[in-house]
Amino acid sequence: MRPGHLLAAAVLAAALPHTAPAQDAARGAGLAADRCSACHGADGRSQIPDIPSLAGQQAGFITLQMILIREGIRHVPAMAAVAQGMPDRDIEDLAAYFASLPPAPPEDRRPRDAALASAGEALIGPRLCGVCHLPSLTGRDQIPRIVAQHEDYLARAMTEYRDGRRVGADAQMNGAMVGLSDADIAALAHYLAHRD
């Protein structure tokens, strides 16, 4: 090939869109049945109060969290063995599967306490939760859906962020939780768990 043609081919190749294979939710369903359902539920709805439901969760968030766990950046001992060495394609297919499922509140959700829920709702605006998680609190891209989640899980996650024991891709959640008391976190968790 002549040098001019080689340069033209290189420029053309660089200009073409590079697309990764599409995420395969059906393949992800098979992977989830083998690797995830014991803890996160057969339908992505965890029956364990301290383990998050993944049904309807943002695919980008699941992908990011799995990579952080796989690479040892986020420490979740129960997930370490599952994530270790998991190929990117498996992670992306699992994320696509869980994101495709309809979200639903936990079946064992505690009865709603109006005063506690009201106290939690009052913290949403000042903490600017809706800026990142959207006003609906359903998340976007790499930011999670936080409504209709297990109350215990939400309280634990927020406490870990507040206390600097949990990290994400950045420190925004750690900053958002600074200054919250345990009672504030309990109120937020209760409100979010009861918002569908």
**Residues annotated in the binding site for heme c, as ranges?**
36, 39-40, 79, 129, 132-133, 173
Q: Which residues are annotated as a binding site?
A: 36, 39-40, 79, 129, 132-133, 173
The C-alpha atoms of residue 137 and residue 117 are separated, in whole angstroms, by 15
Q: Answer for the pair 133, 146: CB distance below 8 angstroms, yes or no.
A: yes
Q: Which of 186, 182, 191, 52 is nearest to 125 (CA)?
A: 191
Q: At what angle do helices 59-70 and 88-100 cross, to 10 degrees?
A: 140
Q: Answer for the pair 15, 81: CB distance below 8 angstroms, yes or no.
A: no
Q: How far is CA 123 from CA 35, 118, 152, 180, in A?
A: 36, 9, 18, 10
Task: Look at residue 191 and give its three-state secondary structure.
Answer: helix
Q: Quickly list H helices, 74-150.
A: 77-83, 88-100, 114-124, 129-133
Sign of CA dihedral 86, 92, 95, 100: negative
